[in-house]
């Protein structure tokens, strides 16, 4: 029998504004993504299970519904010239939806439509044509890779034949058991880890001197006009007690490999609630203050999500921090609760 929470969700979602869903197959979404998927969340919007889509074969907005509210994920995956009209159509049909983890262009469009726009955190960009790991400020990053080499570890650009899938599954399950919240994985802003990496993704493995799997680092692709223009970190998994040099050394190794291949960009993904200041748009002062307090909260960092630790890790690479935003017309506690439940933060 369904739980009371499920029954409530079904009742509430039935009362949400009706939105015409685009019947886009997995292959159609990937085809649109390969033309217009040049931002960090683009690949996840195309492949994450449970999402709905608004648009057509030329472009889409990915969204989910929770507690009778619609929440759009990231920017529209569409030609830049078509995005504003697509956003306007979705706003009309979806009844003032929220837009979560959007870039500056989408934020500017929504601000003109009367939305409030708050900073949600930053995405860290490594522009590989100009960014490298030389100099004193990157000394600790270089040390991590050298430490792994000196101790006999191997970092492998995996093509699916290095280790058996059961080893990947076991590593992921053990990693999950060590998390602050181990009963479930966050969704929406993150998608659940897949044992078999998705099409066009890249996977790097760390093997100990005995050839045993120690850590996994997966990257989602960024595409524009049918060509790979970058990668963004998607998943990290490592064995309990693994050296802290694992993630740092693997990230450096992967970035160097992409640079050698002529890939122009690596993004490290969202650092939630980092550097929450004025957005530059009309915004909610209440939510700006709430985000700042959440980032500094010892309770949240220790018992819910280690916001400060994630930000500190990404700042080791001295990339360019690009603000990302959340936009809404109605920013009440009920909508925020819906978003938190959607990402499984509560």
Render pLDDT for 171-185 as a digit per residue (tens, 0 to 9): 999 988 877 655 556
Which residues make beta-bridge pairs with 320? 125
pLDDT in tens, 242-290: 999 999 999 999 999 999 999 999 999 999 999 999 999 999 999 999 9
119 with 147, same domain: the answer is no
Give the bridge partners for 248, in sequence order: none
Smallest CA-to-CA distance from 259 within 124, 129, 125 is with: 129
Instruction: Assess whether 134 and 256 both reside in one domain.
Output: yes
User: Is the pLDDT reported for residue 101 higher than 70?
Assistant: yes
Q: pLDDT confidence of 39, banded at 50, 70, 90?
A: very high
Residue 140 sits in a domain of what CATH number?
A: 3.40.630.30
Residues 86 and 135 occupy one common structural domain? no
Residues 167 and 49 in one domain: no
Q: Say whether both 222 and 325 belong to one domain.
A: no
Are residues 275 and 338 located together in one domain of the fold? yes
Question: For residue 16, what pLDDT band results from cuts at 50, 70 and 90?
Answer: confident
Is the pLDDT reported for residue 334 higher than 60?
Answer: yes
Using CA atoms, how far apart are residues 306 and 299, in angstroms rounded to an integer? 10
What is the Cα–Cα distance from 141 to 339, expressed in whole angstroms?
Answer: 35
Domain count for the chain, please give it: 2
| Same domain (yes/no): 72, 145 | no
pLDDT of residue 10: 57
Q: Which of 244, 263, 282 is the last residue of a domain?
A: 263
Distance CA 305, CA 297 (A): 10
For residues 39 and 145, membership in a common domain is answered with no
Q: Are residues 199 and 233 in the same domain?
A: yes
pLDDT of 8 higher than 60: no
**Nearest in space to 270 (alpha carbons), one of 227, 229, 226, 220:** 220
Nearest CA among 198, 196, 168 for reference residue 42: 198
Are 143 and 70 contained in the same domain?
no
Are the C-beta atoms of residues 79 and 36 closer than 8 Å to each other? Answer: yes
| Predicted pLDDT at 142 | 97
- Chain segment 121-161, per-residue pLDDT in tens: 999 999 999 999 999 999 999 999 999 999 999 999 998 88
Whether pTM > 0.85 for this model: the answer is yes
Domain that includes residue 118, residue range: 4-125+270-311+320-342
Inter-residue contact 242 to 134 (CB < 8 Å): no
User: Do 146 and 236 have their domain in common?
Assistant: yes
């Amino acid at each position: 029998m369904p739980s009371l929470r499920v029954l409530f969700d079904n009742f509430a979602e039935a009362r949400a504004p009706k939105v015409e869903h685009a019947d886009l197959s997995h292959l159609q979404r990937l085809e649109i993504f390969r033309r217009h998927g040049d931002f960090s969340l683009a690949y996840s919007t195309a492949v994450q299970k449970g999402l709905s889509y608004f648009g057509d074969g030329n472009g889409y907005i990915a969204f989910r519904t929770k507690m009778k509210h619609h929440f759009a994920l990231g920017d529209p995956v569409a030609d830049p010239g078509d995005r504003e009209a697509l956003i306007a159509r979705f706003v009309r049909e979806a009844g003032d939806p929220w837009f979560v983890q959007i870039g500056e262009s989408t934020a500017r469009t929504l601000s003109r439509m009367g939305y409030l726009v708050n900073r949600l955190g930053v995405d860290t960009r490594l522009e590989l044509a100009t960014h490298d790991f030389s100099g004193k400020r990157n000394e600790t990053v270089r040390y991590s890779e050298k430490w792994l080499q000196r101790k006999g570890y191997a970092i492998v650009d995996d093509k699916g034949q290095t280790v058996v899938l059961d080893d990947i599954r076991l590593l992921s399950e053990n990693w999950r058991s060590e998390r602050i919240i181990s009963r479930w994985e966050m969704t929406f802003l993150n998608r659940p880890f897949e044992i078999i990496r998705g099409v066009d993704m890249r996977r790097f493995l760390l093997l100990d001197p005995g050839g045993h799997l120690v850590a996994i680092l997966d990257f989602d692709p960024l595409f524009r006009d049918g060509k790979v223009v970058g990668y963004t970190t998607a998943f990290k998994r490592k064995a309990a007690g693994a050296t802290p040099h694992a993630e740092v050394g693997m990230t450096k190794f992967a970035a160097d490999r992409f640079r050698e291949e002529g890939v122009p960009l690596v993004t490290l993904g969202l650092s939630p609630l980092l550097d929450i200041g004025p957005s530059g748009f009309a915004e909610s002062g209440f939510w700006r203050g709430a985000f700042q307090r959440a980032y500094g909260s010892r309770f949240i960092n220790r018992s819910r999500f280690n916001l400060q630790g994630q930000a500190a890790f990404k700042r080791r690479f001295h990339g360019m921090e690009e603000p990302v935003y959340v936009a809404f017309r109605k920013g009440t506690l009920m909508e925020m609760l819906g978003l938190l439940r959607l990402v499984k933060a509560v």
